[in-house]
Amino acid sequence: MNSTQEAYDRASTIFSPDGRLFQVEYAREAIKRGTTTVGVKFKDGIVLIVDKRISSHLIEPDSIEKIFQIDKHIACATSGLVSDGRTLVERARVDAQINEITYNEQIPVKTLVKQICNFKQVNTQYGGVRPFGTSLLIAGVDDQGIWLFSTDPSGAYIEYKAGSEGHGRKEAMEYFEKNYKDKLSMDDAIAMGINAIYKGTEKKLKPESIEIATITTKNKFQKISLDKTKTYVEKILK
């Protein structure tokens, strides 16, 4: 760490002379250390896939939760600090319920993303707080379409057709750039997502460490069973 950086990295509210917020950049580094997550749009919805990175056979796989349902039509996958991710998920759930009570309708996906990112951005403006060290891949369906957003510790968000966060993001995104096509079937989207994680984990993929969920225009949110997940993964590993 150079002397210039030391002078400007003590709070998220201080810009360095070249316009950087070091605490936000450090939060992004926490995300890069997180497990690989991917989201892929298909014809009728979106699939979210996460590598839970089970490091010991003593760990119960079901105890590690990386994909969260926010509302009937919205879910997210987290990468980075799990506790930060849970805090944002709880905030998102409350926002979704407030919208339904107030307006008697489910919250639009983009509206929820903006509210969560506004909350994230506040944590870069005031002393005594730090940026959230997690990125959410937020997926959902509503009357306006099928959505997949990636959110940043700074409060920025980007919409994707296929996106990734975490340790293997670079390799996963390179795979999507070469192989993604519009109007995929659900099975093809799942296969593509697993392949992307396979690339992102340097081909060290364990079927029991993969978690898959879909959000569709017909069935809304659904988690895929472990047995079916293993079947999808084993096809890729053959």
Alpha-carbon radius of gyration of the chain? 18
Report the alpha-carbon distance of residue 212 to residue 228 in Å, rounded.
10
Q: Map residue 77 onto helix, strand or coil.
A: strand
Q: What values do phi and psi take at 122, rounded to 5?
A: -60, -35
User: What is the torsional sign of CA 20, 22, 23, 26?
Assistant: positive
Report the alpha-carbon distance of residue 117 to residue 100 in Å, rounded.
20
| Catalytic residue from among 4, 13, 35, 217 | 35
Report the alpha-carbon distance of residue 227 to residue 210 in Å, rounded.
11
Q: Largest Cα–Cα distance of the chain, in whole Å?
A: 56
35 given a catalytic annotation: yes
148: closest CA among 121, 184, 120, 122? 184
- In the chain, which ranges are continuous DSSP H helix? 3-8, 22-32, 82-103, 109-122, 169-179, 186-200, 226-237
Eight-class DSSP state of 11: -
Residue 58 · residue 144 · CB < 8 Å? no
Q: Annotated active-site positions, please?
A: 35
